[in-house]
């Protein structure tokens, strides 16, 4: 059952990538900057994730499936692995790491930082509001803030960020983020912190908010971060204090 769960999440994640019109190459080459244009087809996969999560709030059938998945995944657990506390940020960190080693992505440092900061801001707000309004108890009964999974939302937001920045440089760079994000979602269930519906909702929110960040970036660039008038340096610092997640953005405008 553990293997089937991982394969299911990964399959749906990869399908999200193929729902976009992309150019794939295994060679590492610099690419021209190109804005991501709105495409309603890109809404299908994240919407499916979120619909599953929302329906699961009231559906007795999905609640029962949640319980079965939890029992299968968490049985005979002796030790919990807190790798998900760190893996949620790994795809986003990889973007900056690849740039540091000279592998250029779609956007420069300032632009990608603004996009990531926008994504984290939207995602963090959405997750926080839903946690406070739904008040669903965690599987381990440690609190009433289970829905949706913030770790999973962060991981999939980061994975979509890596995908958008590097899908045209190398398909394998892009897909690696979704592998890590799927693992993060699995470990949230394995560590008895979330139900499958929490993870599905978090995945949908994460993917969608990053897509939105790319779609609105041209407007932000033209009306807020006018490159003709200002030279701006930006740095994004994501944080998680055990209860809340978010991102701080530092701007230096000359």
Cα–Cα distance for residue pair 207/46, rounded to 1 Å: 6
Contact (Cβ atoms closer than 8 angstroms) between residue 118 and residue 217: yes
Among 86-95, 142-151, 195-204, 217-226, the range scoring the smallest mean pLDDT is: 217-226
Look at residue 221 in the predicted model and tell me its pLDDT. Answer: 78
Mean pLDDT (whole number) for 242-246: 57
Residue 110 to residue 151: CA distance in whole angstroms: 25
Q: What is the pLDDT of residue 22?
A: 39
Task: Taking residues 29-33, report their average pLDDT.
Answer: 46
> 3-class DSSP state for residue 252?
strand
- Locate all alpha helices (DSSP H) within the chain, ordered by sequence: 2-18, 44-58, 60-74, 84-87, 90-100, 109-134, 150-166, 171-190, 196-223
pLDDT, average across residues 218-236:
63
Nearest to 201 by CA among 250, 254, 129, 142: 129
Give the Cα separation of 60 and 177 in Å (integer).
33
Structure tokens at 61: 């059938």
- Does 56 have pLDDT greater than 60? yes
d(CA 14, CA 146): 25
| pLDDT tens digits for range 94-121 | 999 999 999 999 999 999 999 999 999 9
Q: What is the mean pLDDT of residues 211-233?
A: 74
Question: Residue 30 has what pLDDT?
Answer: 44
Mean pLDDT (the chain) is: 82
Query: Given this model, what pLDDT does residue 248 score?
Result: 58
Q: What are phi and psi of 89, to 5 degrees?
A: -100, -10
Whether residue 71 is predicted with pLDDT greater than 70 in this model: the reply is yes
Can you tell me the mean pLDDT for 25-54?
74
In sequence order, what are the residues at sequence separation of 6 or more whose Cβ sits closer than 8 angstroms to the Cβ of residue 20?
39, 41, 42
Query: In the chain, what are the domain boundaries?
Result: 2-18+29-253
- Which among 213, 33, 51, 253 has a CA at the least distance from the CA of 120? 213
User: Residue 100: how many CB atoms within 10 A of its CB?
Assistant: 9
- Give the model's pLDDT for residue 229: 47
Local structure of 132: helix, strand or coil:
helix
Average pLDDT over residues 237-249: 56
CA–CA separation, 170 and 233 (whole Å): 27
**pLDDT tops 60 at residue 159:** yes
Residue 7 has pLDDT above 60, yes or no: no
Residue 181 has pLDDT above 50, yes or no: yes
pLDDT higher than 50, residue 14: no
Residue 166 has a CB neighbour count (10 Å cut-off) of 27
pLDDT of residue 220: 85
């Amino acid at each position: 059952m553990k293997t089937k769960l991982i394969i299911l999440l990964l399959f749906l994640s990869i399908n999200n990538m193929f729902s976009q019109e992309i150019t794939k190459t295994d060679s590492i080459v610099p690419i021209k900057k190109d804005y991501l244009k709105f495409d309603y087809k890109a809404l299908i996969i994240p919407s499916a994730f979120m619909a599953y999560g929302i329906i699961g709030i009231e559906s007795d059938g999905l609640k029962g499936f949640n319980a079965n998945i939890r029992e299968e995944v968490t049985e005979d657990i002796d030790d919990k692995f807190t790798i998900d506390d760190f893996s949620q940020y790994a795809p986003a960190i990889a973007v900056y790491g690849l740039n540091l080693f000279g592998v250029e992505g779609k956007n420069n440092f300032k632009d990608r930082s603004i996009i990531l900061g926008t994504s984290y801001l939207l995602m963090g707000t959405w997750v926080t509001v839903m946690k406070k309004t739904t008040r669903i108890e965690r599987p381990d009964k440690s609190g009433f803030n289970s829905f949706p999974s913030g770790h999973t939302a962060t991981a999939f937001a980061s994975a979509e960020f890596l995908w958008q920045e590097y899908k045209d440089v190398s398909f394998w760079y892009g897909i690696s983020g979704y592998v890590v994000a799927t693992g993060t979602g699995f470990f949230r269930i394995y560590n008895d912190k979330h139900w499958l519906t929490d993870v599905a909702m978090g995945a949908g929110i994460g993917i969608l908010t990053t897509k939105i960040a790319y779609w609105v970036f041209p407007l932000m660039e033209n009306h807020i971060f006018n490159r003709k008038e200002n030279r701006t340096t930006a740095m994004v610092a994501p944080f998680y204090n055990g209860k809340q997640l978010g991102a701080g953005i530092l701007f230096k405008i000359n």
